[in-house]
Every structure is written in structure tokens, then in C-alpha cells.
Amino acid sequence: MGKITIHDVARTAGVSAATVDRVLNRRAGVKPATIERVQTAIRQLNYQPDRLAARLARAREYRFCFILPSGNNSFMVALGEEVRNAAERMASERVSIDLLLTDVFDGEVLAATLESIGDTHDGVAVVALDHAEVREAINALERRGVTVVTLVSDVPGSKRQHYAGIDNSSAGRTAASLMGKFLGSRHGEVGLIAGSLALRDHIERQFGFEQIMAHEFQHLEILPVREARDDWQRVEEITTQLLREHPNLIGLYNVGAGTRGIVSALEKASRDREVVFIAHELTEDSRKGLIKGTIDAVIAQDAGHEVRSAIRVLMAKADNVPLIAGQERIRIEIFVRDNLP
């Protein structure tokens, strides 16, 4: 079977090729029922328009913007590198990708960054804080016709079009299952360190972790979560304090970033072999920790997949074509020392 064309879609939908073109390009004058028939035909036939040819014909260039956290978060640095690599690849397809760094832990600052996005952008992908001003800034962009995709951390109450990231509640439950199995019948305390409980991904991981621990590992005491803004030096200070105040600490779950700080604190206190430590994201620091045995397991997500997924979603919205849902599902990965890639 040859390549599906706009004429095949038109025949299946019972409309003219001109009508299909109007639907694909979101032009006015098409009835809702007709739009639905065309979109159904597109899905049935798995029609993939030649996007580059269409943009060239319209002399159109798409412009997207990624908003990521500033700071020393290793995973976010890697995410930024993936954005820069994608920008180089997409330039030949008449797609321009900008990168902005801001303080995503401050709702007012992040909202102001979102509000600064001009009408020249077709879409935005943002590591988002679940905050009232951020939510309104996302909604305002959508009202202006700028597609918003949340990345890594979601704002489900907003009008964003898509979330590109893992199921963080499941990630937290996975961490708890691993913690309980690693600790076995030992009795003691387990500490949690998060970047910010205003970040949806951190809240959901904490919830999932505490849910499983409370139901399945009741012999372990969960300490109140402490926030460290994903800064490894601050994380080290908090870990040192935890170790000093809780001599019965036998487990640590780092909900966010700053793993380097926990590794340093555990090793300085000579507690790296007695405290089970579970972290997130496979970075240079967490890899070293796994190999040395200071970290017992790492729960990871593929930064490259997330960036590519966000771009595919932004492109699909700009081109008015349906998404392939399975392609955009971000998987949870578990690494121990013996299965490092």
C-alpha cells in the first residue's frame, strides 16, 4: 500500500481535499461535525502529512520555548543538553527552539517567565510548579493560542495540553517497595528529602512512598520530609543533620535532586554501608554512588525521550494532527549497580 495522501483522507471522510486542508490548517468555515469526520479519517488511515513541505509552502517556521530550572540539578542540566541537541536537529525542519532558565521553585518568578513569552512562540514546554500564579500564566498562554506542555513536573489543574513525564506516584511506590525489601526485617527510621513540596512530581512521589510504607512496612518509622530546593550542598547539610539527630536512621529516599550531597554526608559519617539509600535520576554522581555501593537503587526517567515527546506534542498541535498516545508514554526505569547501561 502506498503513502496515504490528503485525497485518501478526503474520500474516507466524504469531503473535498480542500476541506481536509482547511481542517489540517485550522482555517475557519468548517462545521464541527465535518472536522470530526476528517479527524476520524486521519486516525483511521494513520495519515501523516508532510509537515516540512507544508511549512515550506506556507513559508512558516515554528518557534517553541523550553523553560527549565536554573541551578546545579544534574538531571535538569542533562535535560537542557537534550533541548540544545534537539534544537540543532530541528533547525533543518524550520523549527526554532529557545531555552530559558529560571527559578521554578518561586511561583511568582516562574509565572513572570511564562508571561514573558511573546506571540512569536507557537508552544512552550515547562518544568512547572503547581502554584496559582503559574496555573493562571499557563491558562493565559493557552487562551492566546500558545500550546503548553508540562515537563517532568505537572500542573494538572491547568489548561496545559499534555504532560511529558513519568507517573510520579508510581515512582514513589516503587521506591517504597525497594526500600522495604532492601531493609527486610530491620527496625528503624526512614528519612525523606525533597526539593520542594510545591513541585507536583515531588508531592506525588512522597505520597506514593508513604502510602506503601504505611500499608506494607509498618515496622519502619517514616520521618517528616525535609525540603532542600534540589541544591546538593543544602541536601548535604540536611542529611548530616538527619544522621546526627537520628542515630536509628536506616533508610533515606531522595525524592528530588542533590544526590551528590547525600552520598557525601553518608560517606563522611561512615554510614554509607548501613543506610539504604534510594535516589532519582541516573546522573554522573548517582552512577558513581551506585558503583561504590553508597546508593542501593536509582529510579530514572529518560530525559531525551521527554524532550522529544514534548516536541512531538507541540508539533502535532501546530500541525493539527492526532498524537500517538503510546509513543508519548514515559517509562519508569530502575537501576542497580549490576544493570547500569
- CA angle 156–130–240, rounded 5-degree value: 130
The pLDDT score that the predictor gives to residue 88 is 95
Domains of the chain with bracketed CATH: 6-49 (1.10.260.40), 58-165+303-329 (3.40.50.2300), 168-300 (3.40.50.2300)
The pLDDT score that the predictor gives to residue 229 is 92
If you search the block for the grid coordinates 508531592, which residue do you land on? 203
Measured CA distances, 193 to 238, 253, 254, 289, 332 (Å):
8, 7, 5, 17, 20
b/e map of 167-200 (b: 16 or more CB within 10 Å)?
bbbebbbbbbbbbbeebeeeebbbbbbbbbebbb
Render each residue's pLDDT in the chain as its tens digit; 341 residues.
567 888 899 999 999 988 988 888 777 889 999 999 998 998 888 887 665 555 554 546 889 999 999 988 999 999 999 999 999 998 888 899 999 999 999 999 999 999 999 888 999 999 999 999 999 999 999 999 999 999 999 999 999 999 999 999 999 999 999 999 999 999 999 999 999 988 999 999 999 999 999 999 999 999 999 999 999 999 999 999 999 999 999 999 999 999 999 999 999 999 999 999 999 999 999 999 999 999 999 999 999 999 999 999 998 888 777 777 888 999 999 999 999 99
Measured CA distances, 7 to 42, 102, 228 (Å):
11, 46, 57
Kindly give, in sequence order, each residue whose CB lies less than 8 Å from that of residue 114, ignoring residues fewer than 6 positions away.
67, 124, 126, 134, 137, 138, 140, 141
3-class DSSP state of 110 = helix
| Short-list 138, 160, 128, 163, CA closest to 309 | 163
> How does strand 333-335 pair with strand 297-300?
antiparallel
CA-to-CA distance for 30 and 95, rounded, in angstroms?
28
The pLDDT score that the predictor gives to residue 85 is 96
The pLDDT score that the predictor gives to residue 276 is 98
The pLDDT score that the predictor gives to residue 75 is 95
The pLDDT score that the predictor gives to residue 307 is 98
The pLDDT score that the predictor gives to residue 175 is 98
b/e map of 224-233 (b: 16 or more CB within 10 Å)?
ebbbbbbbbe
3-class DSSP state of 104 = coil
The pLDDT score that the predictor gives to residue 15 is 93
3-class DSSP state of 249 = strand
The pLDDT score that the predictor gives to residue 135 is 97
The pLDDT score that the predictor gives to residue 55 is 52
3-class DSSP state of 195 = coil
